[in-house]
Chains A and B, each alone.
Chain A
């Protein structure tokens, strides 16, 4: 008995133009265009996740007139956009401020790391207390932003549609969308001199014929009953892995050594820098959503040495190089770049020279993908503690990202128990960004 064509099979067939030359991703894109009324510009999104909560008051929302314990030790510097200033350690980004927009009025009220990450990356509040869920990913029900993109847009090349670098995002899982929309995770740090993605190269001891025989044997085993439950999940992962190993495009995309030394150096030899460069290569190869996990931003104590020596320079180099590189390659319009954390930090420096969790105010950087660059949207009060007006919520950010990528945020899917879950739980487009 012939096996029914699964959606994933159809995707593969579709990518070869089997369906009257109209691939499924193209179909999805047309559907999305119809939903928005305009053709979306962002074909991909690179999401630089500054895990732990970046101190944006020391970077993008300076308060030079506030008291020393609030303004901190850093001076504001001018950018190439008249009237816009950033922190002194963001001098590279300052030179390309005309290519991105700072949103200073993002605000929510979840001060937890795992709960805040869950909220930000899924748009839904978690059903666990912060720290009470040590699983990765923590989002067992609600799909992450990357999984939504994967489901709605599918792949557009030989690489997976959704990837996490170098580790899984805390709340980057597929939720009830299932393993098919889980991120591909490289579990290797691209800054490592011998960086390679494990097992991407076919085993030289296995000939093509032998590999084929093994696949046919597996198919024969599965013929009796399609695997379900965990076995089904694993079968999905096997399929994904097999597709990836067979993909020369994937191998090429992961080959960071193909980049000129000058380019690699511009991104910075840091985990964030090299992950950002790899993200550019992956989106070039067709990846729809790359989530870069960059930790250590939870700077409760003695924050300034690590901010000025490690964290801010790494982020400054990576972000500025990424948008410059994308711009120079003509890819910035079609690639949306977002840089943010799950929360901001307290405006007042604590008694151990650090800043604590503060979700009431955070600055977010947007670049490319059809946004209007060179702006500052929103403002916080004199202490940087809250937006002065029109706070931008998590839902607003997600709705805007999906809109830019041509995804209908109002679309709903039923959970296995039959409950409809909209792609975005409310929210509105960020005023002035598009």
Chain B
């Protein structure tokens, strides 16, 4: 009784309003891209999706059609991490739907963003990439390298499980450089790719690892008609369902950067291109100079230049278009230069007059350079006046500067990348008179509770002394959501909160909302979009790569229930290979009396190692239920394992539409693992069998005295051998520990070489599963009949 009182007390102290659990991060599409003019069947994956989750695509030119409900929470497939790696890796558990992307023929290449929303809020979703050339899909679960068609080709692949290495073979018809580019982090998969090129003998010819989070690219010199194998893996040998990638292979050299990296609109001038294989076809950095005509197009700030070489065509390289002539540095002006010596500090001198305003910018990543430049202004007295490293979310630099006193100033540039300088250690410094202008930003997703309010904060970036008020306007708000009529960001204000309000009788819905700001800049009225930040690109090439011109606004419903682990975080000791029944308390509120479904939450602490639980319906009226958590027999006994749950229920919204609302369980189920209750094993180090003939597999079953139950023993053949290798299940009484499984085989061509078979013993204790498995290597000899 006193314990119950204490638990109630604790429960009351821990009580808090159940917040809806919105869809989470780590959205992915597989395949992650497709060619323009095609309709691509994909599986979209993401976390904490309810059955009524809606999918929206940000670019109206692309049509996204979802063709299924979200499937079950997907466990990561073995093998699993153990030891320190299992502490450091806690991948989310996704759900998936099937869908199609219909891409019009004239769709330009690049990423297309998709997002999700349900009655619990909006989620960032992911990106789908539109490509230009031929594409192929990785054949998953293959045992041999996949042969690729003639280059160029883009492979849509995935590192679906840890330790996975995807191998592809290819040949080229003409000797010369071959460029291989991996797009992975740009798709949102948080992994660092490694590319290796091996010859037919397995010798490593070239490799590159993404140690900076920028996605790797590699150019090597290939010989005609030789077979090469390209291997793709994660630098830490990780692999999960959201580790999708696009691997582009093409014959030809690669332009890395250019000097100058920009040209004045309308001018024709010499440009020195820096790239791999562009002068000799060899796998080294070298330069080629070409006359380039820069288009006189004020609407564009860059254009793609395609360098033709005797060794093939390089990929189109974006050259910047500018109004400043690139040459010797002056104010205003621009210069493209190199940092030639490690640690070198480049200085450009200018004369400043008190009160003059300048805007300095340094481009490095944007122009393909590996540098990470820091910029500072040094005063006439030799002391730093102002300095900066990165623009928010990007390595490029932007530095507004007002001259404090007359005198000689220096702009000091240094590289912070730690690299040894090379031909491509290029930067571009631009100094411009600031022009009054403004940019507007906000978050990419805003959730507004039905009958409540939410704040949307607009951040104003004022440039060139712009101080005017800005009038905001919303277009496309979800039904029932309103913004204040008069929305004026006061003069000189840098942030402005907008209170969005949702009516009590509004449905749960979502829409992509356009927000604009209008202000007087000089004599003109200028309209700027409010860009939302949605971080789906983990290797942004430009500062605006993670910005979207439309903001996802969703209305949310409060879950009318609260679910608590009765022994929240209590740390029970559980035998591995068994099922732990943990009591869960369900509290229904606000008149709700319906069924609730408990399931594994997407966010789990530490690597799962196969710990799992089912989707468990809790019938109406049930306030306490035991949730079964299965703990595989391979779990480490040194570690505390935890599992979090979500609860989901169908509730009608204000318009009478049934919607799924969900909330996270309060507390986690915590388990310390110790030795198993039973163990099936065999002494067969090496078994030899003939395809088409049966063989016996002797087994031993060890039981703990705490587990004196009958056990079923069955053979689990790998998917590709289903029906080819079979065995009748055995029933072992409680007092039997030795048995032999008679394995029947078919004379099938698939049954060659060494194959791994799994034997599973399954018993029940208190109605819950106790499982032990062992694997046996069988070498199949003899010639199959067919």
- Residues in A lying within 8 Å of B, measured CB to CB: 68-69, 72-73, 134, 166-167, 189-195, 261, 264-265, 269-271, 274, 295-296, 298-306, 309-311, 314, 349, 351-354
A301 partner residues in chain B, CB cutoff 8 A: 568-571, 667, 670
- B704 and A349 within 8 A (CB): no
Q: Nearest residue in A to B84 (C-beta to C-beta)?
A: A134
Per the bound structure, the CA–CA distance linking A193 and B675 in Å amounts to 8
- B573 and A193 within 8 A (CB): no
A261 partner residues in chain B, CB cutoff 8 A: 705
B2 partner residues in chain A, CB cutoff 8 A: 68, 73
Question: Which listed residue (B637, B679, B705) contacts A167, Cβ 8 A?
Answer: B637
- A193 and B679 within 8 A (CB): yes
Q: Nearest residue in B to A304 (C-beta to C-beta)?
A: B3
Q: Nearest residue in B to A75 (C-beta to C-beta)?
A: B2
Q: A296-B640, A349-B6, A352-B14 are in contact. Are A193 and B703 (CB under 8 A)?
A: yes
B637 partner residues in chain A, CB cutoff 8 A: 166-167, 189, 271
> Is B116 in the interface zone, CB < 8 Å from A?
no
Q: A302-B569, A311-B573, A353-B6 are in contact. Are A191 and B705 (CB under 8 A)?
A: no
- B570 and A299 within 8 A (CB): yes
Q: Nearest residue in A to B569 (C-beta to C-beta)?
A: A301
Please encode chain B, from 553 to 572, with 1 for each CB lying within 8 Å of some chain A CB and 0 for all others.
Answer: 00000000000011111111
How many of B's residues come within 8 Å of A, CB to CB?
Answer: 41
Q: Nearest residue in A to B14 (C-beta to C-beta)?
A: A352
A354 partner residues in chain B, CB cutoff 8 A: 569-570
Please encode chain B, from 660 to 700, with 1 for each CB lying within 8 Å of some chain A CB and 0 for all others.
Answer: 00000001001010111111010000000000000000001
A193 partner residues in chain B, CB cutoff 8 A: 675-679, 702-704, 707
Q: Can you list 12 residue pairs at the A/B interface with Cβ under 8 Å?
A: A194-B700, A265-B705, A269-B706, A270-B573, A302-B10, A303-B570, A304-B6, A305-B566, A311-B573, A349-B10, A352-B10, A354-B570
- Interface residues of B, dominant DSSP: mixed
Q: Nearest residue in B to A68 (C-beta to C-beta)?
A: B2
A306 partner residues in chain B, CB cutoff 8 A: 567, 570-573
Per the bound structure, the CA–CA distance linking A299 and B573 in Å amounts to 12
Question: Which listed residue (A265, A296, A298) contacts B573, Cβ 8 A?
Answer: A296
A310 partner residues in chain B, CB cutoff 8 A: 572-573
Question: Which listed residue (B10, B638, B681, B700) contacts A351, Cβ 8 A?
Answer: B10
- A295 and B677 within 8 A (CB): no
Residue of A166, A193, A303 with most chain B CB atoms under a 10 A cut-off? A193
Interface positions of B from 320 to 337, Cβ below 8 Å from A: none
Q: Nearest residue in A to B668 (C-beta to C-beta)?
A: A301
Per the bound structure, the CA–CA distance linking A302 and B567 in Å amounts to 5
> Is B13 in the interface zone, CB < 8 Å from A?
yes
> Is B7 in the interface zone, CB < 8 Å from A?
yes
A190 partner residues in chain B, CB cutoff 8 A: 675
- Chain A nearest CB: distance from B314 CB in Å? 47
- Chain B nearest CB: distance from A267 CB in Å? 12
Per the bound structure, the CA–CA distance linking A298 and B568 in Å amounts to 14
Per the bound structure, the CA–CA distance linking A194 and B676 in Å amounts to 9
- B638 and A352 within 8 A (CB): no
- Chain B nearest CB: distance from A415 CB in Å? 28
Residue of A166, A296, A354 with most chain B CB atoms under a 10 A cut-off? A296
B677 partner residues in chain A, CB cutoff 8 A: 193
Q: Nearest residue in A to B639 (C-beta to C-beta)?
A: A295
> Is B9 in the interface zone, CB < 8 Å from A?
yes
Please encode chain B, from 564 to 604, with 1 for each CB lying within 8 Å of some chain A CB and 0 for all others.
Answer: 01111111110100000000000000000000000000000
Q: Nearest residue in B to A303 (C-beta to C-beta)?
A: B570
Per the bound structure, the CA–CA distance linking A304 and B3 in Å amounts to 8
Q: A134-B84, A167-B637, A301-B667 are in contact. Are A353 and B9 (CB under 8 A)?
A: yes
- A296 and B571 within 8 A (CB): yes
- Chain B nearest CB: distance from A35 CB in Å? 37
Q: Nearest residue in B to A265 (C-beta to C-beta)?
A: B705
Per the bound structure, the CA–CA distance linking A302 and B9 in Å amounts to 11
- B674 and A299 within 8 A (CB): no
- Chain B nearest CB: distance from A50 CB in Å? 12
Per the bound structure, the CA–CA distance linking A354 and B670 in Å amounts to 13
Per the bound structure, the CA–CA distance linking A271 and B675 in Å amounts to 7
- A189 and B7 within 8 A (CB): no
Per the bound structure, the CA–CA distance linking A273 and B531 in Å amounts to 62
Question: Which listed residue (A271, A302, A304) contacts B674, Cβ 8 A?
Answer: A271
- B704 and A191 within 8 A (CB): yes
B675 partner residues in chain A, CB cutoff 8 A: 189-193, 195, 271, 274
A270 partner residues in chain B, CB cutoff 8 A: 573, 674
A314 partner residues in chain B, CB cutoff 8 A: 573
- B3 and A73 within 8 A (CB): yes
A166 partner residues in chain B, CB cutoff 8 A: 637
B703 partner residues in chain A, CB cutoff 8 A: 193
Question: Which listed residue (A274, A298, A349, A352) contacts B571, Cβ 8 A?
Answer: A298
A134 partner residues in chain B, CB cutoff 8 A: 84
Per the bound structure, the CA–CA distance linking A261 and B14 in Å amounts to 45
- Chain B nearest CB: distance from A296 CB in Å? 4
- A192 and B679 within 8 A (CB): yes
- Chain B nearest CB: distance from A67 CB in Å? 12
A192 partner residues in chain B, CB cutoff 8 A: 675-676, 679, 704
Q: A271-B674, A299-B571 are in contact. List 14 more A-B contacts (CB 8 A).
A: A73-B3, A134-B84, A191-B675, A192-B676, A193-B679, A193-B704, A193-B707, A296-B573, A302-B570, A302-B667, A305-B566, A351-B9, A353-B10, A354-B570
Please encode chain B, from 619 to 652, with 1 for each CB lying within 8 Å of some chain A CB and 0 for all others.
Answer: 0000000000000000001101000000000000
Residue of A134, A195, A264, A301 with most chain B CB atoms under a 10 A cut-off? A301
Per the bound structure, the CA–CA distance linking A166 and B674 in Å amounts to 10
Q: A302-B667, A352-B13 are in contact. Are A269 and B572 (CB under 8 A)?
A: no
- B704 and A269 within 8 A (CB): yes
B84 partner residues in chain A, CB cutoff 8 A: 134
Q: Nearest residue in A to B87 (C-beta to C-beta)?
A: A134
- B13 and A351 within 8 A (CB): yes
Question: Which listed residue (B569, B638, B640, B705) contacts A264, Cβ 8 A?
Answer: B705
Residue of A264, A310, A352 with most chain B CB atoms under a 10 A cut-off? A352
Interface positions of B from 419 to 444, Cβ below 8 Å from A: none
A349 partner residues in chain B, CB cutoff 8 A: 6, 10
Residue of A69, A264, A310 with most chain B CB atoms under a 10 A cut-off? A310
Per the bound structure, the CA–CA distance linking A72 and B14 in Å amounts to 18
Per the bound structure, the CA–CA distance linking A269 and B675 in Å amounts to 9
Q: Nearest residue in B to A204 (C-beta to C-beta)?
A: B685
- B568 and A352 within 8 A (CB): yes
Per the bound structure, the CA–CA distance linking A45 and B672 in Å amounts to 27
- Chain A nearest CB: distance from B6 CB in Å? 6
- B3 and A296 within 8 A (CB): no
- B704 and A73 within 8 A (CB): no
A304 partner residues in chain B, CB cutoff 8 A: 3, 6-7
- Chain A nearest CB: distance from B637 CB in Å? 5
- Chain B nearest CB: distance from A180 CB in Å? 25
Q: Nearest residue in B to A193 (C-beta to C-beta)?
A: B702
- Chain A nearest CB: distance from B631 CB in Å? 13
Q: A189-B637, A191-B675, A306-B567 are in contact. Are A353 and B705 (CB under 8 A)?
A: no
Per the bound structure, the CA–CA distance linking A326 and B679 in Å amounts to 31
Residue of B571, B573, B575, B675 with most chain A CB atoms under a 10 A cut-off? B571
- B667 and A73 within 8 A (CB): no
B5 partner residues in chain A, CB cutoff 8 A: 68
A305 partner residues in chain B, CB cutoff 8 A: 566-567, 570, 572
Per the bound structure, the CA–CA distance linking A271 and B677 in Å amounts to 12
A274 partner residues in chain B, CB cutoff 8 A: 675
Per the bound structure, the CA–CA distance linking A237 and B155 in Å amounts to 48
A-B CB proximity, top 9 nearest = A353-B10, A192-B675, A301-B569, A302-B570, A191-B675, A189-B675, A351-B13, A193-B702, A296-B672
B575 partner residues in chain A, CB cutoff 8 A: 191
- Chain A nearest CB: distance from B188 CB in Å? 29
A300 partner residues in chain B, CB cutoff 8 A: 569
